[in-house]
């Protein structure tokens, strides 16, 4: 009988929580109305459900419901934020700053804008993955219109100093965008205290459905202008046209609601599991921890292993565990992780890396099984050198 491997790839995606699924189901069959159809009860039901999720998401980040714009996910939200600001503010300036460890959903839109004549500064990070705030400040120019720095890195889990970045940006009247796809529901987020102007969110990293995300767009101090990237119907205050996917939106709201209610206890539990795994793996010669040891997501452990072939390492782990060596969105490429090379790793060491994404349904027993098999696999490969 085939036994499915232990799932430790929660930064790629998560299973939909049964409580989330239960909340979604009525909106596929019974309450199937279009939230834009405001002349009958079916539309009212859907509209009310969408409104409730706006309120949940807004409360989660200390925003107002009117500042939440629904998208198909964080990738679309990133594109809307970066391209939308570029188009709306290009007369003010054409310079954007980001960092080398960003997700491709930020780097690629920036490179696209570069092809149109915008200037893009991609700052390096320190060896622990954190941004150097002095370098950021020195990169500011009169024509800088946007800084985009992710909240929690999808590969190494590093948490960037959002409040400090936001303060610097607002002092210089530069808009601040953060990709918080990996952060929502896992760490405290406050767009007011952190002076964040645009924040990208998604549901499927926090036990919600795939295909739904949101962009927070600040309305006051300052009021952020965005050029829409999708036209037709004027939905979402004209920023993102298209019929809203009510079941997915309901699932998003429920997922965030659960994550916030359980955040404190789950953070403690995941931290203990991560430390349990690292305590066992760290005994093996040639293993490196990637990213800041404390300032990281509770469920993230990313390692690189000296003296082994990366492909052979993943192949050896596969029968027992589902893990990855980098971003799921880049897994089809043969290049080493740009995040790990940005930390100063050689291509060979970057290839020989494993990202463990520990999640809500991971148990201590599974961690011990994973550790035992990983150690045996690594030592076997090292002995073949």
Q: What positions carry a catalytic annotation? A: 329
Helix (H) or strand (E) holding 97: strand 95-99
CA–CA separation, 145 vs 42, rounded Å?
43
Q: How many C-beta neighbours within 10 Å does residue 95 have?
A: 18
If 0-12 CB within 10 Å is exposed, 13-18 middle and 19+ buried, where does residue 283 land? Answer: exposed
Q: How far is CA 317 from the centre of its chain?
A: 25
What are the residue ranges of helices labelled H in 159-318?
162-171, 246-281, 310-317
98 phi/psi in degrees, rounded to 5: -145, -175
Contact 214, 201 (CB under 8 A): yes
Q: Which two tokens stand for residue 331?
A: 């897994």
CA atoms within 13 A on the CB side of 251: 29
The secondary structure of residue 158, as a DSSP letter, is B
């Amino acid at each position: 009988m085939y036994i499915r491997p232990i799932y430790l790839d929660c930064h790629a995606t998560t299973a939909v929580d049964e409580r989330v699924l239960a909340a979604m189901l009525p909106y596929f069959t019974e309450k199937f109305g279009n939230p834009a159809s405001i002349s009958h009860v079916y539309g009212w039901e859907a509209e009310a459900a969408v409104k409730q999720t706006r309120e949940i998401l807004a409360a989660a980040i200390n925003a107002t419901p009117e500042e939440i714009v629904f998208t198909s996910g964080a990738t679309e939200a990133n594109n809307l934020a970066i391209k939308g600001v570029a188009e709306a503010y290009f007369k003010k300036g054409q310079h954007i700053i980001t960092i080398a460890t960003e997700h491709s959903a930020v780097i690629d839109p920036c490179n696209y804008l570069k092809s149109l004549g915008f200037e893009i500064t991609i700052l390096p990070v320190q060896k622990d993955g954190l941004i150097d705030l002095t370098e950021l400040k020195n990169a500011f120019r009169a024509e800088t219109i946007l800084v985009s720095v992710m909240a929690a890195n999808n590969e190494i889990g590093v948490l960037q100093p959002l409040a400090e970045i936001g303060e610097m940006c607002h002092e210089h009247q530069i808009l601040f965008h953060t990709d918080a796809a990996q952060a929502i529901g896992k760490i405290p987020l406050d767009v007011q205290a952190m002076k964040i102007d645009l924040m990208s969110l998604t549901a499927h990293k926090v036990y919600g459905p795939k295909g739904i995300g949101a962009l927070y767009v600040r309305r006051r101090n300052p009021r952020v202008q965005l050029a829409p990237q999708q036209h037709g119907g004027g939905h979402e205050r004209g920023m993102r046209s298209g019929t809203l996917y009510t079941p997915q939106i309901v699932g998003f709201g429920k997922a965030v609601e659960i994550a916030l209610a359980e955040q404190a206890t789950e953070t403690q539990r995941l931290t203990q599991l991560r430390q349990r795994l690292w305590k066992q793996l760290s005994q093996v010669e040639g293993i490196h921890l990637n990213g800041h040891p404390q300032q990281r997501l509770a469920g993230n452990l990313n390692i690189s292993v000296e003296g082994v072939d990366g492909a052979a390492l993943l192949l050896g782990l596969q029968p027992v565990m589902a893990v990855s060596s980098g971003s799921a969105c880049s897994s089809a490429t043969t290049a080493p992780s740009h995040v790990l090379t940005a930390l100063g790793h050689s291509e060979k060491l970057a290839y020989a890396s494993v990202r463990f994404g520990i999640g809500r349904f991971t148990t201590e027993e599974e961690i011990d099984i994973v550790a035992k098999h990983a150690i045996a696999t690594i030592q076997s490969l090292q002995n073949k050198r």
